[in-house]
Structure 1
Amino acid sequence: MKPLDPAEPRTAGRYRLLAVLGEGAMGRVLLALSPDGRLAALKQIHPELAHDDGFRDRFRHEVEASRRVSGAYTAAVLDADADAEVPWLASVHVPGPNLREAVDAAGPLPPDAVRYLAVGLTTALADIHRAGLIHRDLKPGNVLLAADGPRVIDFGIARAAEGSDLTGTGAIIGSPAFMSPEQATSGVLTPASDVFSFGALLVMAATGRAPFTGNTTAQTLYNIAHTRPDLSGLAPEVAALVEPCLAKDPAARPTPHQLLGLLGPLPTGEGWPDGVRNLVVAQDARVREVLSWPLPEPPSPKRPWGKATAVVAGALCAVTVASFAVVRLGGFEDVVDGRATGQPLPVREALADARLRLVDPCRVLDGVEVDPVGEFTRFRSEEPGGCTYETSEDDLSVWLTIGMDSDAGTDSGRGAGVDIDGLPVRLTDANTGCGALVQTPARPELSIAVEFPTGTADSCGPAMTVLRTVIDRLRTDVFRWEVPADSAFPLDPCSLVDGETARSAVGGGFKASPYLLRACTWAGQVASMSLAVKQGEPGKPPRNAGEPTKIDGVDAYLSQEDTEYCTLTWTHRQVDDERTEVLEVTSSRTGDPCGTATAYARAVVAKLSS
């Protein structure tokens, strides 16, 4: 569990955000405090999904259906907002590790504990199906082991992602190892799909492995659809329970109610083994520590969170924490600044878009000494994602770029088999100098790159050494921009235009797509728009500026190439003595492209000044 980044919002609707619990395929989960002092697990949806209007409609529908689910073995939905800039869902925060964490830390569950798990899960599935939902993503990470039994979370929410941008890129919604044959073959799903996933999950709980796992995702999906499950190592009573659940034909699988009849009532006192209970106790202590952290002040003084919140936090600390929530153990380092804790962030988290936008590339290497090139000194910057450094050895100029196009330059074919923290290294332009880059894990079209100048002999080795230094430093710090809160550099550009403005400008059915690190495009039925955050020089018009104009009192420049294209640029603010923030809006439509561009620009100006 990690504290929130200082630049992040501190509220979501009525909830005060306290810390980050983790991240998954659809979003990240935060520990949140409700107005009445209860702790909640609040899931914020990833921006790639939030920009899809179809997703929002499905999310709204699934949330409403999820509110109808109640029962002892599900985490109740408390609140949600599908129309927020970042859609979110708050549910009861459940005390306990998830099933994967428990098995990894304490080993496979004994048969009695598997039966205890099975009774809770089948009861939860019966409650979920009664509400007209199919879970669709019943996997170890969505089963929490509380002291008094399991809890199923995220029921029905995977349905909202189907047909979204996320699935459009070829991603799989759900965990392949626990999918049903219907899911693996894109067939029609019924509640029987959850029963198949339940059977696979019990095998994992009892043995530590899923029953169909192959060497690749494709092999796993093939096994699910066509091969018999691996039930070796299962106790006979567990095998007898799961085998009918793993039938290929959905009609041949038992229902949750039939499974409950087979399982019968639980004897008094039966529950988790000591290893799992120890995890719950350890998390109890961790929550006490988290609740002792000073509550971060919200970024805006408009919300009165002063003494009253401190009193609530103090009261929470004085109460038995297990009755409220526990933090999941494992998988997420407790790092804000790795140099202070000695633990670097995972590469995927360190090189995520939101974190890279916080990084001033001219701070990453300034004053750093790297053998054999010497000490780096910032020289100049021409883009928000790039900085040129001079070195103390041989007066070299080295160009560092963060979040730029990974296809830039010519691949030399060298560097095969070399990686930095699991990221393959590409070498470019090796005959005239050398550049070394790695693609970011979440978006391979973006890169972190170091380039030595043309004519530098034997520079590929030093380029890789410097790149490794950059990645190491990015994993331990963010080297934040020294800019005010209304700076555009750290922001997601797709968040600067609301859905209503986009729909009015480009037509219905629009899609917002991130482009590079600081640009976004909106494509609709009648027009397309783009917004880019760039860099300029103080006292000078933006590069390629057109005719002077005004946007709600702000000096801007308009350039219209023909009747279908129009660009508006303006300087948002000065960053330092050398740099300004420039925003550029381009409209492509038949008719009045400049009117459309102006509407977008006004929305962005208002957003940044609010």
Structure 2
Amino acid sequence: MHVVLRFRATAVVAAAALLMAGCATGPGLAKTHSPRRTVQAGADASSTDPSTKPSAQPNKPVDPAFAAERMRLVNPCALIDKDVLQTVGTPSRYTSSNYTRCSNYMKDKAGKTLNISVDVGYTLTSTDLKNANKQLAGLKSSEQKLTSSCFVTAVTQENPGQALRIQVSTGSGNEAVADTCEPSRKVLEGAVRKAKGNPQKYTPLKGSPVEVDPCAIVDRATLAPVVGASPRSLAFGLHQCSWSGQGASMELEFKTARIPKDGKFDRDSAEVDLGGVKGYQVLKDGPFPTCELVVVRTKDSSDAGEIAEFQVGASKEKTTDRCQAAQAFAKAVLPALPSA
């Protein structure tokens, strides 16, 4: 059964969630504040590069089921379906704030707090891959245990490094689960099994960029004027890609968002014409001034939708017109996206 990308926005600050009954709908499109991992020119490759000296074949998953083109359409909530969560407790409502993350704030079998989240296509650094020295569900795996939470990953691709990741966090005092890694392993085993099977998938709305590989859609001619003929390319997750070189960087990300009534994603945003398509840009100052340009791709009656975000940044020493470059970037890419 395929699931249509239908979105509803709520008024919850910073992480509004779509309630999902049995994973029967798509992800919520409320604006979230997940950490940005833009790589500035000259940044240390070892800090973000999934594999500084990769030996695995590029873009080859450890199993065809985990191919990026397939996983972009997998509804993450379907990977932690109720039959998976019931192995560790009593599921509650599903919440999803982007294409590849889903959470369930539930209770364990003793009634204690057990908050579970799954991330699909989670980016791994070279250090993460090195630390994946365990085995879980037939895949290389790693664990990171903190005071009240546990992160367990199963490597689905080595070059660049990607994984299915489960995060389990608990409460404090009498609400605390003693070992958060035990339910993490169980849920991840179930998620891997679901991913290898026939999980529910999104049926993209007209104009949706959810299936598009952001790293593959941008050609060298578009990149060269800003980052040179041979920029360093880095993929983050399944829907974000950046390029850096010559003291500058470019980034393209497809994501879900709450669409403001006035179109301004930032109070200082200015509307620009991209050849018959509206864009909203803002120049962010700082040590690495960056122009952010947002183009709405889908929008429903509740103002929830999907966007393409283009960024061009450069060191202060460079005289690059960052917003003009961002507009050229968008104009080059938009014709290759699915028609709205």
Q: Is TM (by shorter chain) over 0.5? A: yes
Determine helix, strand or coil for the equivalent of 2:158: coil
Counterpart in 2 of 1:603? Answer: 332
Paired AA for residue 121 in structure 2: G
Counterpart in 2 of 1:182? Answer: none
Equivalent of residue 161 in structure 2, options 411, 422, 445 = 445
2:152 matched to 1:436? Answer: yes
Counterpart in 1 of 2:270? Answer: 548
Equivalent of residue 475 in structure 1, options 196, 212, 221 = 196
Offset from partner CA, 1:400-459 (integer Å, 9 cap, x none): 11122346xx99x9x9644221x2322223431222212223346322111112434122
Offset from partner CA, 1:138-194 (integer Å, 9 cap, x none): xxxxxxxxxxxxxxxxxxxxxxxxxxxxx9845489xxxxxxxxxxxxxxxxxxxxx
1:180-259 alignment, distance < 5 Å: none
Counterpart in 1 of 2:75? Answer: 360
Offset from partner CA, 1:291-342 (integer Å, 9 cap, x none): xxxxxxxxxxxxxxxxxxxxxxxxxxxxxxxxxxxxxxxxxxxxxxxxxxxx
CA positional deviation for 1:493: 0.3
So what's the TM-score if we normalise by structure 2?
Answer: 0.66
1:132-211 alignment, distance < 5 Å: 169-171=53-55
Equivalent of residue 292 in structure 2, options 562, 567, 570 = 567
CA distance in 2, matches of 1:375, 1:527: 49
Structure 2 residue runs of 5 or longer lacking an equivalent are 1-50
2:122 matched to 1:404? Answer: yes
CA positional deviation for 1:502: 2.4
Identity %: 23
CA distance in 2, matches of 1:403, 1:172: 17
Contact 2:312–2:325 (Cα < 8 Å) also in 1: yes
RMSD: 3.6
Counterpart in 2 of 1:535? Answer: 256
Q: How many correspondences in the alignment?
A: 268
CA positional deviation for 1:585: 1.5
Cα gap change, 1:170 to 1:398, in 2 (>3 Å): closer
Determine helix, strand or coil for the equivalent of 2:323: helix
Relative CO higher for 1 or 2, CA cutoff 8 Å, sep ≥ 6? 2
CA positional deviation for 1:392: 6.4
Contact 1:509–1:525 (Cα < 8 Å) also in 2: no
Paired AA for residue 94 in structure 2: F
Counterpart in 1 of 2:309? Answer: 584
Contact 1:430–1:460 (Cα < 8 Å) also in 2: no
CA distance in 2, matches of 1:475, 1:521: 29
CA distance in 1, matches of 2:90, 2:243: 43
Paired AA for residue 548 in structure 1: A
Counterpart in 2 of 1:386? Answer: 101
Larger Rg: 1
1:302-313 alignment, distance < 5 Å: none
Determine helix, strand or coil for the equivalent of 1:477: coil
Paired AA for residue 354 in structure 1: E
Paired AA for residue 337 in structure 2: L
CA distance in 2, matches of 1:604, 1:485: 17
Structure 1 residue runs of 5 or longer lacking an equivalent are 1-166, 174-345
CA positional deviation for 1:544: 5.7
Contact 2:160–2:235 (Cα < 8 Å) also in 1: no
Determine helix, strand or coil for the equivalent of 2:63: helix
Counterpart in 2 of 1:425? Answer: 141
Determine helix, strand or coil for the equivalent of 1:496: coil
Offset from partner CA, 1:86-140 (integer Å, 9 cap, x none): xxxxxxxxxxxxxxxxxxxxxxxxxxxxxxxxxxxxxxxxxxxxxxxxxxxxxxx
So what's the TM-score if we normalise by structure 1?
Answer: 0.39
